[in-house]
């Protein structure tokens, strides 16, 4: 299985377009959004400066891009093309394919997180304690697993033609409404009440809690755990259905 | 060993069942005394699917190396590449291959290790005549190393030319199992043709022994017989003097048509 992970990674690293969007793009977007903001401008109700707040949003966004975009489309297409069937004729265990996809996405998402942090710290003077940097990296990275599972589920749900629009709608919807591009505090009240239940909102809130040096809200943790259970369970169910059908 | 049948005969379904890609509605499939999955995990089976997808954006060499890594008794990737005749394509990206080249890459994936059984579903689809013949030689090589090569095909020529054993499948049922020669024999192996002078007495000819089919056009009589020697002997016994007598073997193609039409007539 390691050889499949290695090959998936080689392939991901060779794809310049994908690398740009998942690794470089979040940092660029961070600079555009936080670029003009003064390093001391506060986001209302959080006690965090705008750059600090947006750093977590963009790191989460980058990780989301890396784990969601590539996998859902690849899985749907490779399922249709018959590569998944061909792999079933090898010693690779059934889940190996999905695990390899997730693992390679996780490897690509790590630099996209770290690069946003480095850019924020050097260009916008974001300062945090050492434990906060480490915890933040770990939390954003681990949290991306929720969306990796979502990517797999979409890949097994959608057909090769439909997978891109479906992924895009979910991706942009989750990013925008979850407050990864702008703080949800700028949304009208009724919308805020709804979007706080989105996994992307909980995801970014987890990172912001670490920046504020406080324990994360139970609600956010619960949303993430339930989402993960839902996506992973759905992916597993769809995977089994697909295996029986093929 | 060829699994021969027209499109829709159930060849791919049979192979899918054999490889554990599909589950039978009833009964069980055993391969080497175990489940298909266990046989694959033990490295006893290598398989290539009909237009089975490949991983794109990787090179041929990388893909073959992956197949070797996944096989319990692998060959060296370079060996596998050259045996499949694609050493010169090693650095080519998989999605830039032609149909015939992709088939060879699939064949390489199926022969990445020392398997006892190699299953190939329509392996020469998309190949021109020359590449097809070169490919047959590659398949033959695998069989000469003592392993069973089971391939599905709807090209009779292919089954006739390289298979030691032919299974004829039609509408999901096994109609014949034997060497290409035996299958031809089963269908009425030989074709006898001759000219007669005067009026042709059709009922008398129809009563000839071992006759499987009779066609009279003018003075020319065409017969298919499962024992041409006996039929011709009886012909002289009728006091007839056939001219331009020809006895020829039936092609597998005609045999195949004969077997499947006989079966269709039976089911009606």
Give the model confidence (pLDDT) of B25-71 as tens digits. Answer: 899 999 999 999 999 999 999 999 876 788 888 999 999 999 999 99
Distance from CA of A152 to the nearest CA of B (A): 17
The pLDDT value given to residue A11: 87
The pLDDT value given to residue B9: 84
Average pLDDT for residues A67-81, to the nearest whole number?
A: 88
Q: Secondary structure of chain A: what % helix, strand, coil (to 5)?
A: 80, 0, 20
SS3 call for A242: helix
The pLDDT value given to residue B210: 86
Residue A80 — pLDDT band, cuts 50, 70, 90?
A: confident
Q: Cβ of B192 under 8 Å from any chain A Cβ?
A: no
Nearest to A10 among B19, B54, B62 (CB): B62
The lowest-confidence range among A15-29, A114-128, B80-94 is A15-29
Complex confidence, ipTM = 0.80
The pLDDT value given to residue B189: 64
Q: Cβ of B49 under 8 Å from any chain A Cβ?
A: yes
Domain boundaries, chain B: 2-183, 188-249
Class of domain B2-183: alpha beta
Residue A246 pLDDT > 60: no
Rounded Cα gap, residues B71 and B82, in angstroms: 18
Strand partners, B115: none
Residues of chain B contacting residue A89, judged by C-beta atoms under 8 Å apart:
19, 21, 40, 45-47, 49
* Residue B229 tokens, joined: 């020697």
Q: Would you list the DSSP string of chain B?
A: -EEE--TTSSHHHHHHHHTTSS--SSS---BTTB-HHHHHHTT-EEEE-TT----SSSBHHHHHHHHHHH-SSBPPHHHHHHHTT-GGGTTSBGGG--HHHHHHHHHHHHTSB--SEEEEESTTTT--HHHHHHHHHHHHHHHHTT-EEEEEES-HHHHHHH-SSEEEEETTEEEEEE-HHHHHHHTT-EEEEEE-SS---HHHHHTSTTEEEEEEETTEEEEEESSHHHHHHHHHHTT---EEEEEEEPPHHHHHHHHHHHHHHHH-
Rounded to whole angstroms, what are the CA distances from A212 to A40, A128, A208, B41?
Answer: 15, 10, 6, 52
Q: What CATH topology corresponds to B188-249?
A: Alpha-Beta Plaits (3.30.70)
Q: Cβ of B57 under 8 Å from any chain A Cβ?
A: yes
Q: Which of A206, A183, A198 is nearest to A135 (CA)?
A: A206
Residue B187 pLDDT > 80: no
Residues of chain A contacting residue B20, judged by C-beta atoms under 8 Å apart:
88
Residue B152 — pLDDT band, cuts 50, 70, 90?
A: very high
Rounded Cα gap, residues B19 and B1, in angstroms: 16
Domain span at A22? 2-245
The pLDDT value given to residue B268: 67
Average pLDDT, chain B: 87
Average pLDDT for residues B198-209, to the nearest whole number?
A: 85
Nearest to B57 among A11, A84, A89 (CB): A11
Q: Are B100 and B128 in contact (CB under 8 A)?
A: yes
Place of tokens 């991983």: B55
Distance from CA of A91 to the nearest CA of B (A): 5
Contact yes or no for A11 and B70 at CB 8 A = no
Rounded Cα gap, residues B163 and A76, in angstroms: 37
In percent, the amount of chain B with pLDDT more than 90 equals: 38
Q: Cβ of A182 under 8 Å from any chain B Cβ?
A: no
* Residue A184 tokens, joined: 């949800």
Q: How many CA atoms lie within 13 A of B34 on its CB side?
A: 10
The pLDDT value given to residue B110: 93
Rounded Cα gap, residues A90 and A209, in angstroms: 45
Contact yes or no for A246 and B21 at CB 8 A = yes
Task: Return all residues near B138 (Cβ < 8 A) that are at least 6 apart.
Answer: B83, B84, B85, B107
Q: How many CA atoms lie within 13 A of B242 on its CB side?
A: 21
Beta-carbon count within 10 A of B173 CB: 12
Contact yes or no for A86 and B57 at CB 8 A = no
Task: Return all residues near A120 (Cβ < 8 A) that are at least 6 apart.
Answer: A30, A34, A51, A52, A54, A55, A126
Give the model confidence (pLDDT) of B237-255 as tens digits. Answer: 888 888 899 888 766 667 7
Give the model confidence (pLDDT) of B128-151 as tens digits. Answer: 888 888 888 888 989 999 999 999
Distance from CA of A3 to the nearest CA of B (A): 6
Contact yes or no for B23 and A244 at CB 8 A = yes
The number of domains in chain A is: 1
pTM of the predicted protein model: 0.79
Place of tokens 């056009």: B217
The pLDDT value given to residue B156: 78
């Amino acid at each position: 299985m390691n050889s499949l992970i290695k090959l998936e990674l080689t392939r991901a690293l060779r794809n310049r377009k994908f690398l740009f969007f998942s690794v470089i793009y979040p940092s660029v977007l961070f600079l555009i959004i936080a670029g003009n903001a003064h390093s001391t401008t506060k986001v209302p109700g959080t006690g965090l400066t705008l750059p600090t707040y947006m750093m977590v949003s963009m790191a989460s966004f980058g990780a989301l891009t890396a784990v969601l975009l590539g996998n859902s489309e690849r899985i749907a297409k490779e399922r249709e093309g018959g590569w998944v069937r061909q792999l079933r004729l090898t010693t690779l265990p059934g889940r190996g394919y999905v695990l390899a996809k997730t693992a390679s996405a996780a490897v690509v998402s790590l630099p996209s997180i770290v690069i946003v942090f480095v850019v924020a710290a050097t260009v916008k003077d974001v300062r945090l304690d050492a434990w906060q940097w480490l915890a933040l990296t770990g939390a954003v990275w681990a949290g991306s697993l929720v969306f990796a599972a979502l990517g797999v589920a979409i890949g097994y749900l959608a057909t090769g033609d439909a997978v891109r629009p479906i992924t895009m709608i979910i991706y942009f919807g989750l990013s925008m409404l979850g407050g990864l591009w702008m703080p949800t505090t700028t949304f009208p009240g009724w919308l805020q009440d709804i979007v706080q239940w989105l996994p992307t909102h909980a995801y970014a809130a987890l990172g912001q809690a670490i920046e504020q040096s406080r324990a994360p809200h139970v609600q956010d943790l619960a949303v993430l755990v339930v989402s993960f259970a839902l996506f992973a369970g759905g992916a597993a169910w769809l995977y089994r259905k697909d295996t029986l059908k093929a | 060993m060829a699994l021969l049948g027209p499109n829709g005969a159930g060849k791919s379904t049979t192979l899918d069942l054999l490889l554990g890609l599909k589950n039978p509605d009833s009964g069980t499939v055993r391969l080497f005394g175990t489940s298909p999955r266990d046989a694959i995990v033990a490295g006893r089976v290598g398989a290539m699917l009909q237009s089975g997808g490949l991983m794109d954006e990787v090179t041929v060499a990388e893909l073959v190396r992956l197949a070797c890594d996944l096989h319990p008794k692998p060959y060296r990737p370079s060996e596998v590449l050259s045996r499949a005749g694609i050493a010169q394509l090693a650095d080519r990206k998989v999605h830039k291959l032609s149909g015939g080249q992709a088939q060879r890459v699939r064949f390489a994936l199926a022969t990445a290790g020392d398997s006892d059984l190699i299953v190939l579903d329509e392996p020469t689809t998309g190949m021109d005549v020359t590449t097809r013949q070169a490919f047959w030689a590659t398949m033959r090589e695998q069989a000469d190393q003592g392993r069973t090569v089971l391939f599905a095909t709807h090209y009779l020529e292919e089954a006739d030319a390289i298979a030691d054993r032919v299974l004829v499948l039609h509408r999901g049922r096994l109609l014949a199992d034997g060497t290409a020669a035996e299958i031809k024999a089963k269908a009425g192996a030989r074709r006898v043709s001759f000219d007669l002078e005067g009026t042709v007495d059709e009922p008398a000819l129809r009563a000839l022994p071992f006759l499987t089919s009779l066609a009279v056009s003018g003075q020319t009589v065409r017969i298919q017989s499962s024992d041409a020697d006996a039929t011709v002997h009886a012909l002289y016994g009728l006091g007839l003097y056939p001219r331009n007598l020809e006895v020829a073997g039936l092609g597998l193609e005609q045999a195949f048509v004969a077997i499947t039409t006989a079966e269709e007539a039976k089911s009606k």
